[in-house]
Amino acid sequence: MSDLDALARAGKHHRVVADDIAAADGRESDRALTALAGMAFTRVDRQFRERTAERGRGAFLNGSALGALRPKGVIEILSFEATRTVSIAERVGAMVGVAERLRIMGSLALALCHLAAGRVDAVCSLKAARSVDIAAAQLLVRECGLAIDLPEAPPFGAAPLDLVGRSRVVAGGSPEVCARLYAALSV
């Protein structure tokens, strides 16, 4: 927690701090090093939230099971991530009719945690994401039975756990929601 405190004091993040930590099993499965367990931490105004997941055992927020509150099939709240103003301006028009409202949290891992908790209905990144940056958060999403994909380098499960950004990320309550998001992003 002292590392999170130091990050908060660094000046870049005044109110929200997020960290994503995962452990892989070291074996390759369809080319991918799969995350076995993960923890995503956030601290908002001195409240510390711990999200944990273990493959095949579920996802939890401060020890309570996640997944009861599901994202809607119709996207009311969409989280845009990995964004710069120009990226938002180029893509926001394509979301009219796809999503009612947009949120930008500033962290793809945090946005995926909010999806797992049912606080947003879908998430998309506007630039290629690195698998190591979202390893724990994607495990939370998958353990909640939600869909996540790398549409420019499918399937998600085959992506190596490394430092290379291969594809944008789309995530939601179903593969159909992911496909709808990617179609809108590709216009």
**Residue 59 pLDDT exceeds 50:** yes
Which of 20-24, 31-35, 44-48 has the lowest average pLDDT?
31-35
Q: Which residue has the higher pLDDT, 163 or 4?
A: 163
Q: How sure is the predictor about 30, in pLDDT bands with cuts at 50, 70 and 90?
A: very low
**Range 105-123 average pLDDT:** 91
pTM of this structure: 0.79
pLDDT at 10: 43
Tell me the three-class secondary structure of the chain, residue by residue.
CHHHHHHHHCCCCCCEEEEEEEEEEEEEECCEEEEEEEEEEEEECCEEEEEEEECCCEEEECCEECCCCCCCCCEEEEEEECCCHHHHHHHHHHHCCCEEEEECCCCHHHHHHHHHCCCCCEEEECCCEEHHHCHHHHHHHHHCCCEEECCCCCCHHHCCCCCCEEECCEEECCHHHHHHHHHHHCC
Per-chain mean pLDDT for the chain: 80
Q: Which residue has the higher pLDDT, 149 or 29?
A: 149
**Range 78-104 average pLDDT:** 92
Domain ranges of the chain: 2-185
pLDDT at 132: 81
d(CA 140, CA 110): 11
Q: Which residue has the higher pLDDT, 12 or 69?
A: 69
Q: Which residue has the higher pLDDT, 153 or 25?
A: 153
d(CA 157, CA 142): 10
Q: How sure is the predictor about 146, in pLDDT bands with cuts at 50, 70 and 90?
A: very high
pLDDT at 11: 41
**Residue 124 pLDDT exceeds 90:** yes
> CATH number of the domain at 2-185, out of 3.40.140.10, 1.10.3720.10, 3.40.50.1100, 3.40.190.80?
3.40.190.80
Counting residues of the chain whose pLDDT is more than 90, the rounded percentage is 41
**Residue 33 pLDDT exceeds 50:** no
**Residue 17 pLDDT exceeds 90:** no
